[in-house]
Amino acid sequence: MKHFDTFGVMIDCSRNAVPSVSGLKRFFSTISKMGYNMAMLYTEDTYEVTGEPWFGYKRGRYSLAELKELDEYAASVGIELIPCIQTLAHVNALFHFRAYNKIRDIDDILLIDDEKTYDLIDKMFSSLSSAIKSRKIHIGMDEAHNVGRGKYLDRHGLCDRYEILLRHLNRVCEIAKKYGYEPMMWNDMFFRLANGGDYYVDTPLDFSKEITEKVPADCGMVYWDYYSNSAQRYDAMMESTKQLSDNVWFAGGTWVWAGFAPHARYSNIRNALAVPACIRHGVRNAFFTMWGDNGGECPYASALGALMYAAALAEEMSEDEMKAKFKEITGETYDDFIALDLPNYIHGEKRGVGTANYSKNRLYDDPFLGIMTLNGENADGTIYSVYAEKLHKIADESTTIYKTLFASMAALCDVLTIKFSLADRTRTLYANGDKEALRALAENEYTECIKRVETFYTVYRDQWYTMNKTYGFEVQDARLGGLMRRLQSCKDRLLAYANGEIDAIDELCEEVLPILDGNYPIWAATLTANIM
Amino acid sequence: MKHFDSLGVMIDCSRNAVPNVKGLKRFFEITSKMGYNTVMLYTEDTYEVENEPYFGHKRGRYSIEELKELDAYASSLGLEMIPFIQTLAHLATLKRWRAYRHKVFDIDDILLIDEPRTYELIENIFATLAKTFSSRRVHLGLDEAHHVGLGKYLDTHGYTDRYALLLKHLNRVCEIARKYGFETMMMANDLFFNMAPGVFCTDEIKEFPAEITENIPKDLAMVHWDYFGTDEKRYDAMLLSSKKLSDQVWFSGGAWTWGTFSPHNRYSIGRNEIAIASCKKNGIRKAFFTLWGDNGGECPYFSVLPALMHIAALANDMSETEMKNKFKEITGISFDDFLTLDLPNYIFGENVTVESPYFQHSPCNYAKTYLYDDPFLASMSVNTKINDTDVFGDYAVRLAKLADEKNEFSYLFSALSALCSVLEIKFALGKRTRTLYENGDKEGLRKLAETEYTNLLPRLEDFYRTYRKQWYTVNKSYGFEIQDIRLGGLSRRIQNCKEILISYANGEIDRIEELEEQPLPMKDTYITSWAEMVSANIV
């Protein structure tokens, strides 16, 4: 690529959804045709580490043989596979089985200055280097807020947080070097150090010599930004990062991490600022992240529209060229892929929704508790029947592997046509004391809604197994099976109320207070105020 | 009472299950007849606090009127109803609301000390309690605040000695309580014995430094809690040590209802025999027994009536015959029949205890673990020492028979009978699936799917129905949304696994990844969390 040496993607394989080997091969082949030459697999604990049987246990981790196979395939289509791991925080699943309790500092953070931690990290590098040829590696190191405040503090007393972070970083880089690795890391640690705890700046920071001296000389610095909406910020962040290292990387977002549907339009608007900024500042290494927060519900393939758009920005393609290329590569229309965004556009296609995950929030919103009922700014959900029709039509006409993406979003819109306002309607009828209307609502809408959730479940499961390993779907079984049961349970109670068998439904007597947070990313918080 | 001035029961109303007013009134009647004179409602945020609309929002909190009604009813039966609240940690459900999250929290589920809004909240709490309860005693909680001072507090104030900080907070809270005329008590173990990390209980009498004893409010009573101890020496040492912290020492034992669907009456009886002997010997004249509800409040408070009767008998020097007669007279059911509610966890047969060697010798909650253990992932079931167990069929029949007697508590026996019918199939299902898969026996798997998986589903449905009936009989409807999800999720998962097995038998898929992975030995026989049972992922 003219403007980039490395132009890549980062696929999250750690949030329950672990992309299948066949799915990844298909994906590598597709993005390589778009112009990408690098892929990172973000694996917190979802890869085999020799001698560590509990590492990634029951999580669907990649075996070293699978990684080798992926590496070879990627190379054959011109893609460099780079491991993207964590060597400090974000290793929450590691602590599930207690085998690693001894090296847990606090929260999801490894215990610094304990040799057992470095033994484990050594084994991580050793295993990865045996399976994957690239000698670049992303060592993570973001968001370790409470580092040094748990077991570390019990052992050593309170120490300066940055001092221990830097000592750890240097130690990790040293181990990486032993295996011939050139590491890179998320750069926010240094910004927060120089900037009173905050990451983003709108004018370039002047890092003191004291800080720049502490950056390991050969460590690449990755500036990540999935949100910023001003060219000035990208400029300031890139200029600042250059002071930390000669080896600067940019990580943008191709959003698939806020619920079931992607946010391609939002991603495009951000990347339209970010990619030209990279070109302006000579940042020649970039990749686009596909995180999978809270379950990995939205598959990586749903980001293909936004990925094509980012590649077109890098290659300075015209819109027509881009669309023609997309069609040629995927067999699908670019605009159809962008339509996968629709389930969150509750105010109609013309009004942006940021990265709101209304579709997930309203799918799981409890019909009686109605915690999310006030988050939709007066939208009533009637738009969903229009979206459903549109997405069904695309799905029906699709003959590619991507048919499943459209089919599941169509089925989701079918559910939301009823479910979006179900809690609100139930509450209103209850407040009006209209028992007969509640009976009708239960018998018609609740019954139909359960059927539609069942259909969505089946289509969505199909999508999951097309894209991912089977692991992680146990969580979707629990969530969607739970939803069906809850709808049935509420229906039963509405009928009991209409029949006079119970004289009140307590949850419907309690008012709904505004949640003040907009959207909830977490499934459990969407539906209950209790502890799941 | 000969040996006690206060003998009480503490009911957990904060772990999703919130006992309903009708159920509590009946429970008060029974416990008062047994000889209790105190009851505590453990409410983290499940009570109305004036001027705090988000406090207990959507949690099924008691309104002021409900508490007044309960208080008056308790008084009429000779029971003192004491509020048991939290004034430092254990407030995770409050943190989930933005109204509190950013303002009054330090780290984890711990309030931010020295923040004016924190004390405004505590002031509001006491002002409301004073209006609501007639008792002027209050339990302040104050347990398990391990990371206090290490979050936002540290960011703002720098590192402060944690115990000095705790004592400062404690004095401030007691001062507010005093203003409203309350005498306070708190859990002693965590704060004063845990100072050396890892020391929960000691067998030796402990001396405390003057900077601690001098800074403890003089009117604060200390509650020593122990639900596990098997050695009278430990109870003696802890109670005598607690006396060095306060003139007023309470003992708190367990009547086990937590982390499980079925109670642990036998276990509780064994522990409390030792504990109460120690109380008597050491002149501890105030005690209460806790019915915690960890991880969902699945086991109803009525389930431990035998353990509670037994405690009352020890407190009043009743003979076994007297105790059993009294129990029958009060509940209409024989003591021994009521004990059969314990059975679902007794997987090795009725006479083999089920204590975990790994954590404080807790009673194992096999029934819940094996109910939710995923049939493919099967983290738990591949680790049982026995291959199968045939006890559940027998337990189901025995419990059903008691349910059929149509007494006041039939619903308890029905729910657990249905649970045993589920476990008759489910207990070994993960292991059987794995064995057939490893043997490459596709026809065996097809048969397992078509018979066992299929038969399991209506049994789960039946358990769900009886369990739901039980929940609504004893609890408010709040919190059942969690049970809907867990049990609905389980049925769906069983159905999905069944479909996958049939696809595999039909050759439509060539492997089942989860069954390819080699199981590792697990030592955790006491996991209470549903989420940990169903997945190694983040649920």
Determine how β-strand A109-110 pairs with β-strand A104-106: antiparallel
Q: Each residue of A10-57: pLDDT tens digit?
A: 999 999 999 999 999 999 999 999 999 999 999 999 999 999 999 999
Residue A250: DSSP 8-state: E
Structural domains of chain B, with CATH? 6-331 (3.20.20.80), 342-534 (1.20.120.670)
Distance (Å, whole) CA B403 – CA A35: 70
Say yes or no for a CB contact (<8 Å) between A513 and B54. Answer: yes
pLDDT confidence of residue B383: 62
Residues 134-173 on A with a CB inside 8 Å of B are 146, 149-150, 153-154, 158
Name the residue of chain A whose CA is nearest to B102's CA. A517
Distance (Å, whole) CA A100 – CA A116: 10
Q: How far is B20 from chain A (nearest CA, A)?
A: 11
Average pLDDT over residues B7-15: 98
Say yes or no for a CB contact (<8 Å) between A96 and B520. Answer: no
pLDDT confidence of residue A515: 85
Q: Each residue of B430-450: pLDDT tens digit?
A: 999 999 999 999 999 999 999
Tell me the chain B residues in contact with residue A469 when contact means C-beta distances shorter than 8 Å: 513
Average pLDDT over residues B157-167: 90
The answer to whether residues A306 and A271 touch, using CB atoms and an 8 Å cutoff, is yes
Determine how β-strand B6-12 pairs with β-strand B110-111: unpaired
Taking one residue from A and the other from B, the number of pairs with CB-CB distance under 8 angstroms is 180
Q: Each residue of A204-242: pLDDT tens digit?
A: 999 999 889 888 988 999 999 999 999 999 999 999 999
Say yes or no for a CB contact (<8 Å) between A58 and B535. Answer: yes
Q: Report the sign of the C-alpha dihedral through residues B268, B273, B274, B278, in that order.
A: positive
pLDDT confidence of residue B195: 55
Say yes or no for a CB contact (<8 Å) between A149 and B60. Answer: no
| Sheet strands (E) in B319-391 | none
CA–CA–CA angle B526, B530, B534 (5° rounding): 100
Residue A4: phi and psi, rounded to 5, are: -130, 140
Residues of chain B with pLDDT > 90, as a percent, come to 86
Q: Out of A295, A478, A510, whose CB is closest to B534?
A: A478
Q: Is the pLDDT of residue B257 over 70?
A: yes
pLDDT class of B521 with cuts at 50, 70, 90: confident
Residue B451: phi and psi, rounded to 5, are: -100, -65
- What contacts A520, CB < 8 A, 6 or more positions away? A357, A361, A372, A526
Structural domains of chain A, with CATH? 6-332 (3.20.20.80), 339-527 (1.20.120.670)
Distance (Å, whole) CA A343 – CA A352: 12
Instruction: Pick from B97, B356, B529, B538 the residue to mutate for testing the A interface (most A CBs within 10 Å).
Output: B538
Residue B50: DSSP 8-state: T
Average pLDDT over residues B448-455: 98
Average pLDDT over residues B31-37: 98
pLDDT confidence of residue B162: 86
Q: Out of B197, B376, B479, whose CB is closest to A154?
A: B197
Q: How many angstroms separate the Cα of A88 from the Cα of each of A57, A208, B163, B426?
A: 19, 25, 29, 39
Distance (Å, whole) CA B457 – CA B467: 15
Say yes or no for a CB contact (<8 Å) between A474 and B99. Answer: no
The answer to whether residues A115 and A60 touch, using CB atoms and an 8 Å cutoff, is no
Distance (Å, whole) CA B530 – CA B372: 7
Say yes or no for a CB contact (<8 Å) between B537 and A54. Answer: no
Q: How far is A60 from chain B (nearest CA, A)?
A: 8
Tell me the chain B residues in contact with residue A513 when contact means C-beta distances shorter than 8 Å: 53-54, 57
Q: Each residue of B362-377: pLDDT tens digit?
A: 899 999 999 999 999 9
Q: Which residues of A179-202 are buried (b: 16+ CB within 10 A; e: fewer)?
A: bebebbbbbbbbbbbbeeeebebe
Residue B222: phi and psi, rounded to 5, are: -110, 130
Say yes or no for a CB contact (<8 Å) between B147 and A517. Answer: no
Residues 442-461 on A with a CB inside 8 Å of B are 457, 461
| Sheet strands (E) in A263-357 | 285-290
Alpha-carbon Rg of chain B, whole angstroms?
24
Closest residue by Cα to residue B154 from B205, B113, B210, B122: B113
Average pLDDT over residues B64-70: 98
Average pLDDT over residues B331-352: 96
Instruction: Let me know how many helices (H) and strands (E) chain A has, helices first.
Output: 21, 10
User: How many other CB atoms are found less than 10 A from the CB of residue A102?
Assistant: 11
Closest residue by Cα to residue A332 from A380, A404, A262, A233: A404
Q: Does A96 touch chain B (CB under 8 A)?
A: yes
Q: Which amino acid is at B49?
A: V
pLDDT confidence of residue A274: 98
Closest residue by Cα to residue B380 from B505, B526, B267: B526
Distance (Å, whole) CA B46 – CA B43: 5
Say yes or no for a CB contact (<8 Å) between A474 and B500. Answer: no
Distance (Å, whole) CA A505 – CA A489: 12
pTM beyond 0.95, yes or no: yes
Q: Which amino acid is at B435?
A: T
Average pLDDT over residues B519-537: 86
Q: What is the mean pLDDT of chain B?
A: 94
Say yes or no for a CB contact (<8 Å) between B493 and A470. Answer: no
pLDDT class of B196 with cuts at 50, 70, 90: very low
DSSP B49-68: -TT-TTTTTTTTPBPHHHHH
Q: What is the mean pLDDT of chain A?
A: 96
The answer to whether residues B107 and B114 touch, using CB atoms and an 8 Å cutoff, is no
Span of A96-105, A460-469, B81-90, B405-414 with lowest mean pLDDT: A96-105
> Which stretches within A96-200 are classed as H helix?
115-131, 151-156, 161-178, 188-194
Q: How far is B251 from chain A (nearest CA, A)?
A: 29
Say yes or no for a CB contact (<8 Å) between A482 and B485. Answer: yes
Say yes or no for a CB contact (<8 Å) between B537 and A59. Answer: yes
Residues of chain B with pLDDT > 70, as a percent, come to 96
Tell me the chain B residues in contact with residue A507 when contact means C-beta distances shorter than 8 Å: 58, 477-478
Span of A175-179, B5-9, B381-385 with lowest mean pLDDT: B381-385
Say yes or no for a CB contact (<8 Å) between B489 and A477. Answer: yes
Q: How far is A172 from chain B (nearest CA, A)?
A: 26
- What contacts A417, CB < 8 A, 6 or more positions away? A381, A382, A384, A385, A388, A452
The answer to whether residues A476 and A310 touch, using CB atoms and an 8 Å cutoff, is no
Q: Out of B486, B495, B531, whose CB is closest to A482?
A: B486
Report CA A513 to chain centroid distance, whole Å.
29
Q: How many angstroms separate the Cα of A513 from the Cα of each of A374, A446, B127, B244, B410?
A: 8, 24, 23, 47, 39
The answer to whether residues A18 and A47 touch, using CB atoms and an 8 Å cutoff, is no
Tell me the chain B residues in contact with residue A482 when contact means C-beta distances shorter than 8 Å: 484-486, 488-489, 492
The answer to whether residues A48 and A56 touch, using CB atoms and an 8 Å cutoff, is yes
pLDDT class of B73 with cuts at 50, 70, 90: very high
Residue B227 or residue B206, greater confidence: B227
Q: Which amino acid is at B29?
A: E
* CA contacts within 13 A on the Cβ side of A155: 13
Q: Is the pLDDT of residue B525 over 70?
A: no
pLDDT class of B198 with cuts at 50, 70, 90: very low
Residue B355: DSSP 8-state: B
Quick one: which H or E segment has residue A419?
A: helix A403-419
pLDDT class of B387 with cuts at 50, 70, 90: low
Name the residue of chain B whose CA is nearest to A292's CA. B538
- What contacts B211, CB < 8 A, 6 or more positions away? none
Determine how β-strand A38-42 pairs with β-strand B6-12: unpaired
The answer to whether residues A168 and A121 touch, using CB atoms and an 8 Å cutoff, is no
Q: Out of A475, A525, A528, whose CB is closest to B537?
A: A475
Q: Each residue of A416-429: pLDDT tens digit?
A: 999 999 999 999 99
Residue A164 or residue A378, greater confidence: A164
Tell me the chain A residues in contact with residue B530 when contact means C-beta distances shorter than 8 Å: 532
User: How many other CB atoms are found less than 10 A from the CB of residue A353?
Assistant: 20
Q: How far is B320 from chain A (nearest CA, A)?
A: 40
Say yes or no for a CB contact (<8 Å) between B538 and A482. Answer: no
Distance (Å, whole) CA B255 – CA B266: 10
Q: Out of A106, A146, A469, whose CB is closest to B513?
A: A469
pLDDT confidence of residue B144: 83
pLDDT class of B382 with cuts at 50, 70, 90: low
Q: Is the pLDDT of residue B317 over 50?
A: yes
The answer to whether residues B386 and B347 touch, using CB atoms and an 8 Å cutoff, is yes
Q: Is the pLDDT of residue B166 over 70?
A: yes
Q: Is the pLDDT of residue A381 over 70?
A: yes
Residue A455: phi and psi, rounded to 5, are: -65, -45
- What contacts A278, CB < 8 A, 6 or more positions away? A3, A4, A238, A250, A284, A286
Say yes or no for a CB contact (<8 Å) between A486 and B536. Answer: no
